[in-house]
Structure 1
Amino acid sequence: MSETRPWLVVGLGNPGAQYADTRHNVGHMTVDVLAARCGAHLTSHKSGTHVADVRLGVLPGGVPGPRVVLAVSDGYMNITGGPVSRLMTFLGVDAEHLLVLHDELDLPAHELRLKRGGGEGGHNGLKSISQSIGTKDYHRLRIGIGRPPGRQDPADYVLARITAKDRPEVDVTVEQAADVVEDVVLRGFSQAQMSLHTA
């Protein structure tokens, strides 16, 4: 992987304290964990994002892992695409090197799945990215949050604060999601996908 072609890892979520601890923001949370592992802080970028340019993971012999740009959008979930597209252009990154981390209603809570391309499953963040970059053929890490209980509206469910009871398990899931991102970057998407889905 060349120095000029890093992985771009985008965590989906909404900005602001009122959304910080909601299920919809597990992508954001994962990026925060990855940045913390590298001792990095996300800083404002002219694309309309906050980014951290890091080396992720450790290669054999203790060599720092590949260059990765971690990013979250400054705007709301449904307009994520514009900032992501501008950041990709700035970095010279194509869809082959884009990994989007997002909450997934159609997976049981705390289940993780890697996926390339395909539909967006009604996820407004993914729809916005697909439209803005002109393709659905990018990589995603789907972080399961399960379906809302009873007749609760899915929109209310994803934007509800994570309860104190659920928090420890969510924290573990986010750490595991960060591990998967490191695996993708270090070993490649196909190898990481095979390991995750056969674990």
Structure 2
Amino acid sequence: MKLVVGLGNPGDKYKNTRHNIGFDAIDWFCDQYNFPVFNYESKFESFVSNSIVSDEKVLLAKPQTYMNLSGKAVSSISNFYKIPFEDILIVYDDIDMPTGKIRFKFDGAAGGHNGIKDTIKRLGTDKFGRLKIGIDRPDNKEMITPWVLGRFTEKEYEAIYSQKDDIVKLIVNWLDGKL
């Protein structure tokens, strides 16, 4: 089994915000591969869905622990199902990349992303896959929190949405062992 986790914050207040692009990416993947409806699993503090893609059992998760505690959900799921770290992919926003740019990475530091910091801390390793989606950064450093919790402009969303198929394809390539 492989675990693909989209990071974000729970609730309508945060829907369609820059920080929730991980949830959006998981939804795009879910829709394209006809996963069943997500169900809330309290033991994981996450919405989860599972199916088979490329002959691989895949569990999708959207943690409801808030971004800064994402590792709590990721570690609960990986421990319960005994999923090896290399079979975990985290999809999340990156303020250090231009809006719409995507990049796969395996291991390394959190790069200032609190959800990844918590995941590394709780898993006890940085040896897991990451699919980073650029959301750019504000000019004023003090505006980072309102920026990531803010909604995309129409132009920004178009830049992200134009990458939708490539994002889904990268997830499939990761599942197929091509990354």
Taking structure 2 as the reference length, the TM-score comes to 0.92
Q: What SS is found at the alignment partner of 1:80?
A: helix
Q: 1: distance between equivalents of 2:10 and 2:139?
A: 26
Query: Which of residues 110, 125, 133 is equivalent to 1:143?
Result: 133
Q: 1:122 maps to what in 2?
A: 112
After TM superposition, list the pairs within 5 Å mapping 1:141-180 onto structure 2: 141-149=131-139, 153-180=143-170
Q: CA deviation at 1:181?
A: 0.3
CA drift of 1:169 comes to 2.4
Provide the aligned length of Structure 1 versus Structure 2.
Answer: 177
RMSD of the TM alignment (CA)?
1.6
Corresponding residue for residue 46 of structure 2:
49
Residues 35 and 42 of structure 1 are in contact (CA less than 8 Å); yes or no, is this contact kept in structure 2? no
- 1:149 shift after superposition: 3.7
For residue 22 of structure 1, what is the aligned residue in structure 2? 17
Equivalent residues of 1:29, 1:174 under 8 A apart:
no
2:154 is paired with a residue of what secondary structure?
A: coil
Indicate the percent of aligned positions where both proteins have the same amino acid.
Answer: 32
Separation in 2, partners of 1:150, 1:79: 25
What are the superposed Cα offsets for residues 73-107 of structure 1, whole Å, 9 maximum, x if unpaired?
01200111111111111111021101000101111
Q: Distance in 2 between matches of 1:38 and 1:74?
A: 23
Q: What TM-score do the two structures reach when normalised by structure 1?
A: 0.83
* Shift, 1:38, TM fit: 2.4
For residues 151 and 139 of structure 1, do their structure 2 counterparts lie closer, same or farther at Cα, with a shift above 3 Å needed? Answer: closer
CA distance in 2, matches of 1:149, 1:176: 28
SS in 2 for 1:31: helix
CA deviation string 1:39-85 (max 9, x = no partner) = 221111221111111122xxxxxxx5421111010120011111111
Are 2:65 and 2:72, in contact at CA under 8 Å, matched by a contact in 1?
no
SS in structure 1 opposite 2:48?
strand
- Between the aligned partners of 2:124 and 2:131, the Cα distance in structure 1 is 19
Report the CA distance shift for 1:149/1:175 in structure 2 as closer, same or farther (over 3 A).
Answer: farther
Q: Which runs of 4+ in 1 moved over 6 A?
A: none
In 1, Cα distance between equivalents of 2:27 and 2:55: 18
Q: 2:73 aligns with which of 65, 69, 83?
A: 83
Larger radius of gyration: 1
Question: Which consecutive unaligned segments of at least 5 residues does structure 2 have?
Answer: none
- Once residues 131 and 180 of structure 1 are traced to their aligned partners in structure 2, the CA distance between those partners, rounded to angstroms, is 26
Structure 1 range deviating more: 23-32 or 152-161: 152-161
